[in-house]
Amino acid sequence: MKSKSDYIYGLRPVIETIASGKNLDRVIIKRGLKGSLYFQLMQELKNHSIPYQFVPAEKLNSITRKNHQGVIAWISEIEYHDIYSLLPGIYESGREPFLIALNNISDVRNFGAIARSAECFGVDCIIIPEKGAARINAEALKASAGALNKIPVSRVKSIVKTLEFLKESGLRVISASEKGDSDLRSANLEGPAVLVMGSEDRGISPEILKITDLHLSIPLAGSIESLNVSVATGILLYEIAGSRGSASAKASADKTGSRGQEASFR
């Protein structure tokens, strides 16, 4: 649960907070707001890819009765990273990039569990969209067992455009769903890759499937036709990490240290 100290209000305080370099989780703005400071705020939000939403005045008043001037913002629990700047550094370190992109996953507990598996299996960055993604709040941090404080998270305007950039940068786009046409057990999973996972109800968008290089399915023996998305992601990450070769395994071991010697389950 957010405490009162986790949000700020007022046009100029929010603008100055963004200018100071602090990451904002989201901003709500009163519908119909105008003026020079409002337009300055909107420019800052767009320049820094900060999600915002227009709401009725009653919504803001229900959060605080103080002079919010039509704007309330929440400070982010984590620092976001720029994938366009992060990717060259991964290549320069001698490692093959191993990323995960989340499409339509809005449940914070699923997101936290995915982050935990991603950190355990050496994923370099988690990519999420500005809109429609789970909020990275205290509940997500708890579900991740602290992984969200260790693994970089990149928040992007367009998952599709980011995936196109990653393809141009030498990564294969690998998606997974119950409709996948490639069996996980026999697929070639080697090389630089970004794994795309969608929500259980909405799945992966058609735009992403069009640019997917490999669409995986996990073979199931039971009568239930699908897995929880965080469980499915853990299985896929394990298989992909295991296929990346001794050089990548060594790099992962160097990154994680002795904790990678033996798995523990809690």
Domain 83-261 has CATH 3.40.1280.10: yes
| CATH, domain range 4-75 | 3.30.1330.30
Give me the residue label for tokens 């995936």: 163
Q: Which two tokens stand for residue 218?
A: 């996990």
Please, where in the chain does CATH 3.30.1330.30 lie? 4-75
Backbone region of residue 261 per phi and psi (left: phi > 0; alpha: psi in -120 to 50; beta: other values)? alpha
Please, where in the chain does CATH 3.40.1280.10 lie? 83-261
Name the nearest CA neighbour of 185 among 217, 153, 226, 138.
217
The whole-model pTM stands at 0.80
**Pseudo-torsion of CA 175, 255, 87, 15, nearest 10°?**
100
pLDDT tens-place values along the chain, 266 residues long: 344 447 899 999 999 999 888 888 889 999 999 999 999 999 999 888 888 999 999 999 999 989 999 999 998 888 889 999 999 999 999 999 999 999 888 888 999 999 999 999 999 999 999 887 888 878 888 889 989 989 999 999 899 999 999 999 999 999 988 787 888 888 889 999 999 998 877 778 899 999 999 999 888 887 776 788 999 999 999 999 988 753 444 454 555 554 444 555 55
